[in-house]
Structure 1
């Protein structure tokens, strides 16, 4: 006889559980608070108008950047420019990151694409054989350090020529943050696998001295690389669009205030309840010291970059327009955006694919520290640059 209870299969939950009521409570609390402050009719008007504006003026803009960057990256890969860059930076990977020169290929590949690109390299025996088990434990952190780098850089540069030096400094900050993240993870990996300094793997460089090319002549290869790269940009832009619209809309509503001349709500795009600035005000002294943030609204960027760097990028233009951000902020945003690369949304899945789930907590903590360090490095490096130039 059945007692009315059924065993729940893996991957399923009971139709109604505790999380059902928790979720309902959170939704009611959020919309209840927004409705109390703004008026429920205003809330939905603001959400729709903000979401539409973010989609048209931010998401599609990011997609355009991704298409162009993807096309350029495709041509660079096809005709050996990426291989040249890889050859140049390979010798510095051991001194900086404590990893073999082959890790440069992972850095370059993820920089022109996204964090998970490191997974395809890790699955390649010709690449994987260069690394000790402890060094393999850094794959996720290494890939995330450089993931979306080209897209973030291109987007920040598109905001104005006056930000060129800030974006360059931000890239250096991201590398410094990555060194922190990878080095910490390498220490944990060596302790876990009980590796000492004498543990090395000998491998030949022959596999890194060739590159795969497309069929056809130079013109056919050029056009094929150009179009395939552009298509990858479309895919990346579409992948970012949903998160950008959803997260940016929510963050904007929690960040900005009423748009009316007398401080009243008029149902316009980007109106909000100023909740995040009130919370962020408590952390502002620390944020000012570490990252040079002068207003609490700017704290929305690193919080957003933890889960979706595309959404974080979308906040930048609004902060500049509102006068909250400057060139120094762009440097800090670039460093943190590239280094963090939305790692909370990819780390666990990547580690699971690599069968390294025992490092989940360690990898996340190390990369969080690395992302914070990237912002600090970019902030103070840019101050140093402006001091002398």
Structure 2
């Protein structure tokens, strides 16, 4: 992820310039024609401002606490213990070596790109075959921001504790589908043959771990502070995604305000007013969405759509959905599964695959993960129906 984005030179003014201007101006004109130009910009500013104050800082606070916890777990060997316990499941379920569970746990406690650190560690990758390395992208992304997302959902009310747990199970199922499909592509790309015999060194990655200098108290304090600092950086990093993506989704999801006196729909420029396009699309697709995901309101489609670009932005939709009575416990389970499994993969997959030196497989990774996320949502819905 540290590599600079490669750019290429093209003609200064081309057809795409005019297409982009047509789409941009057309979009603004369409929205302004419905709510008025002045109201439109007022809504955009108020929505972004409210998201920054009431959503971003909430997510950041949880990211700081989650970062401190994850750093403590790593410092005192809890993650290594989990690694040893769950290693026996990785080969039959994912077709990956047991050590790869450490990458999944790390991304669950932080975010998608965290697995890149493992992919660049030769003491880790020596246990992976060539075709398994690109699949780390799908594995890590499937659990990105998992702890933060789960904690956020649980914090919305006691009724959402079990749905959030079910969502985690759905995300695991989606991750298996994503990784397995991806490795079908990578095996072909790397000309992998089952009969090839590879020598694996006896020393295992999970046998050793690095710790900080100092006594136990000092190590614990340093781990918490460093983990909390990483949480702050993560909170800062999600600001563009939340403000840009979520503001756009909000304006496409919600409708005008209601006049308290007359009861008429009016535009006042308040935050979260919109033109209700996504609910209309959701209604048109309800014959597919209802049986697959169990969504009770067409507005619910906004969450998985937003998760494609930024799960942090998608999380900010939930409180308003709950306030408006749009979502149910089943929806929270599906949101958790799809949000964790997708976790903004469209905005991270290209960079992650580039960091893994597998840019040529980026399209395959995206296709695999799209299918995996859909399977995660479907699994969460049916597990919820079976249990509840």
TM-score, scaled relative to structure 2: 0.94
- Counterpart of 1:204? 202
Tell me the distance in 2 between the aligned counterparts of 1:200 and 1:358: 26
- Is the 1:46–1:269 Cα contact (8 Å) retained in structure 2? yes
- Is the 1:132–1:200 Cα contact (8 Å) retained in structure 2? no
- Counterpart of 1:6? none
Tell me the distance in 1 between the aligned counterparts of 2:284 and 2:278: 10
Q: Does residue 135 in structure 1 map to residue 132 in structure 2?
A: yes
Q: Does residue 342 in structure 1 map to residue 344 in structure 2?
A: yes
Tell me the distance in 2 between the aligned counterparts of 1:75 and 1:214: 11
- Counterpart of 2:3? none
Q: Does residue 351 in structure 1 map to residue 368 in structure 2?
A: no
Tell me the distance in 2 between the aligned counterparts of 1:127 and 1:373: 29
Tell me the distance in 2 between the aligned counterparts of 1:29 and 1:41: 16
Tell me the distance in 1 between the aligned counterparts of 2:283 and 2:160: 27
Tell me the distance in 1 between the aligned counterparts of 2:249 and 2:7: 35
Q: For structure 1, which segment, 349-358 or 217-226, has the greater mean C-alpha deviation from structure 2 after superposition?
A: 349-358
Judging changes above 3 Å, is the alpha-carbon distance between structure 1 residues 104 and 59 closer, same or farther for their aligned structure 2 residues?
same
Q: For structure 1, which segment, 213-222 or 150-159, has the greater mean C-alpha deviation from structure 2 after superposition?
A: 150-159
- Is the 1:60–1:237 Cα contact (8 Å) retained in structure 2? yes
SS at match of 2:201: coil
Shift of 1:31: 1.1
SS at match of 1:146: coil
SS at match of 1:115: coil
Decide which of 270, 274, 277 is 2:276's aligned counterpart: 274
Tell me the distance in 1 between the aligned counterparts of 2:118 and 2:97: 14
- Is the 1:67–1:232 Cα contact (8 Å) retained in structure 2? yes
Tell me the distance in 2 between the aligned counterparts of 1:207 and 1:129: 9
- Is the 1:319–1:325 Cα contact (8 Å) retained in structure 2? yes
- Is the 2:296–2:328 Cα contact (8 Å) retained in structure 1? no
- Counterpart of 2:335? 333
SS at match of 1:102: helix
- Is the 1:144–1:343 Cα contact (8 Å) retained in structure 2? yes
Shift of 1:10: 5.8
- 1:180-259 residue pairs with structure 2 within 5 A? 180-199=177-196, 201=198, 202-259=200-257
Shift of 1:85: 1.1
Shift of 1:13: 3.9
Decide which of 163, 166, 183 is 2:160's aligned counterpart: 163
Tell me the distance in 2 between the aligned counterparts of 1:192 and 1:206: 27
SS at match of 1:90: helix
Shift of 1:200: 5.2
Unpaired segments of 5 or more residues in structure 2? 1-5
Tell me the distance in 2 between the aligned counterparts of 1:99 and 1:200: 16
Q: For structure 1, which segment, 227-236 or 182-191, has the greater mean C-alpha deviation from structure 2 after superposition?
A: 182-191
Shift of 1:223: 0.7
Tell me the distance in 2 between the aligned counterparts of 1:199 and 1:70: 41
- Is the 2:292–2:378 Cα contact (8 Å) retained in structure 1? yes
- Is the 2:133–2:356 Cα contact (8 Å) retained in structure 1? no
SS at match of 2:266: coil
Shift of 1:18: 2.5
- Give the aligned length: 378
Unpaired segments of 5 or more residues in structure 1? 1-8
Q: Does residue 75 in structure 1 map to residue 86 in structure 2?
A: no
Root-mean-square deviation (Å): 1.5
- 1:87-106 residue pairs with structure 2 within 5 A? 87-106=84-103
Q: Deviations over 1:277-319 (max 9, x none)?
A: 1122211111111111122211111111111111111111111
Tell me the distance in 2 between the aligned counterparts of 1:98 and 1:10: 35
Shift of 1:55: 0.8
Tell me the distance in 2 between the aligned counterparts of 1:50 and 1:206: 50
- Counterpart of 2:291? 289
Decide which of 105, 108, 121 is 1:108's aligned counterpart: 105
- 1:54-65 residue pairs with structure 2 within 5 A? 54-65=51-62
Q: Deviations over 1:38-84 (max 9, x none)?
A: 11111111111111111111111111111111111111111111111
- Is the 2:44–2:247 Cα contact (8 Å) retained in structure 1? yes
- Counterpart of 2:19? 22
Q: Deviations over 1:212-266 (max 9, x none)?
A: 0111111111110001100100000111112101111111111111112311212
Tell me the distance in 2 between the aligned counterparts of 1:50 and 1:28: 21
SS at match of 2:47: helix
Tell me the distance in 2 between the aligned counterparts of 1:83 and 1:252: 41
